[in-house]
Amino acid sequence: MFDIIVIRPHCREQIKTKRLNKILESSLEGYSYETVTTADEFFHFRNKRILFAISLGESGINIELYGILKRIRLNPNCFEGSVGGIIIDGNSELFTKSVGRELAFSANLSGCTFPGKPLVEGTKSLDNYNTVAKILDVDTFGAYIHSGRALVEQIMNFNPPKKKNPKILALHASHFKKSNTLELWNLVKGHLNNCELTEISLRNGTVMDCIGCPYTTCLHFGDSAGCIYGGVIVDQVYPALINCDALIMICPNYNDAISANLAAMINRLTALLKMTKFYDKYLFGIIVSGYSGGDIVAQQLISGLNMNKTFILPSRFAIMETANSSGSILKLNEIEMRAKGFAENIFNHIYEK
């Protein structure tokens, strides 16, 4: 029995894999592991600890990765009960995050849970490690190695929290009379029993976006769970987030993006993150698109709140539906059953039986 399964799609240009080799050598030291390199070797990896390790090169494309992604998407239970993390090494300043969140989204749909901050990415310059390097008093490559090792330890030690009376926070910025997304939330909410539920609307009033205050300013306000702008984010959202066990983001698809107020809320969490982390809180999403693109919105939530803001990404974290005209969500075939199933998935993750 191996400690960890390393899914490392074969890279045809071996010279471009040297840096990833060094990261993995350090990250996996002391653990036994099995390596999967091709789609033909891929099969079910249920109840396992999974490390995805991808070399992208300059183009941001690994051909074998797409074969493995196809297997993952066609096998919706292949990672049931598994916990995963991702290391992506590139030879460009681009593509590492986009490939990482697409992979996390696909694996999550197939049953994989990701702890908070599950992506370690190495760009060509490694400038994305400048801050971490200063904190650790090492160079950027040393910070990269440290991050890879920390990720493996996080995967191996992950123990999802459970609560007898879980506290759930639902955030939205939609209109109650017109929103298909809120209609879907109401269907889901009807099956969420034995929990303490808080709903906050960001629709009314002014929600200022983050302007990127100097670190010292953000740190100063963050120490007291505040932000220089104040408002509903500080007065209502911050305390509710600190108190909750799970966050449900209620997201209509606006031009293949989450709404402006919800995006501003995510950006403003940086100040709160100075004081408290969210590694023990779950992220769920309710997404309704008028036409298509629910996967894009889901990936925004993954990158914004799981990869950056440290929320746990539980398996099948989002319900995604398509409904255009007002009220049409209620006419979808078996929508009640899917809403109930999603509510049950939430409880299976957070409720201590």
Angle between helices 18-27 and 140-157 (to 10 degrees): 50
Identify whether the C-beta of residue 32 lies closer than 8 Å to the C-beta of residue 60: no
* Residue 210 scores a pLDDT above 70: no
Compute the distance between CA of residue 182 and CA of residue 186 in angstroms, rounded to an integer.
6
Q: Output the CA angle 82-85-90, nearest 5 degrees.
A: 145
Identify whether the C-beta of residue 290 lies closer than 8 Å to the C-beta of residue 253: yes
Q: Which contiguous run of DSSP H or E holds residue 172?
A: strand 167-172
312 bridge partner residues: 282
Angle between helices 96-109 and 294-301 (to 10 degrees): 110
* pLDDT at 1 (0 to 100): 84
* Residue 229 scores a pLDDT above 50: no
* Residue 65 scores a pLDDT above 90: yes
* Residue 220 scores a pLDDT above 90: no
Residue showing tokens 């298909």:
180
* pLDDT at 327 (0 to 100): 92
* pLDDT at 206 (0 to 100): 52
For 302-349, the pLDDT digits (tens) are 999 999 999 999 999 999 999 999 999 999 999 999 999 999 999 999
* Residue 11 scores a pLDDT above 60: yes
For 275-292, the pLDDT digits (tens) are 889 999 999 999 999 999
Identify which of 212, 195, 185 has the alpha carbon closest to the alpha carbon of residue 319.
185
Angle between helices 260-273 and 215-222 (to 10 degrees): 80
- Per cent of the chain over pLDDT 90 is 83
CA 195 to chain centre: 23
* pLDDT at 218 (0 to 100): 45
Domains 4-157 and 167-350 share a fold: yes
* pLDDT at 231 (0 to 100): 62
* Residue 225 scores a pLDDT above 60: no
* Residue 61 scores a pLDDT above 80: yes
Q: Which contiguous run of DSSP H or E holds residue 273?
A: helix 260-273
* pLDDT at 309 (0 to 100): 97
For 233-288, the pLDDT digits (tens) are 888 999 999 999 999 999 999 999 999 999 999 998 988 887 889 999 999 999 99
* pLDDT at 207 (0 to 100): 58
Average confidence score pLDDT of the chain? 92
C-alpha dihedral over 152, 309, 8, 146, to 10 degrees? -40
Query: Is the domain defined by 4-157 classed in CATH 3.40.50.360?
Result: yes
CATH of 167-350, one of 1.20.58.220, 3.90.1150.10, 1.25.40.20, 3.40.50.360: 3.40.50.360
Range 132-137 average pLDDT: 96
* Residue 222 scores a pLDDT above 80: no
Q: Band the pLDDT of 296: cuts 50, 70, 90.
A: very high
Identify whether the C-beta of residue 98 lies closer than 8 Å to the C-beta of residue 296: no
| Structural domain spans, the chain | 4-157, 167-350
Residue showing tokens 């220089």:
228
For 74-104, the pLDDT digits (tens) are 999 999 999 999 999 999 999 999 999 999 9
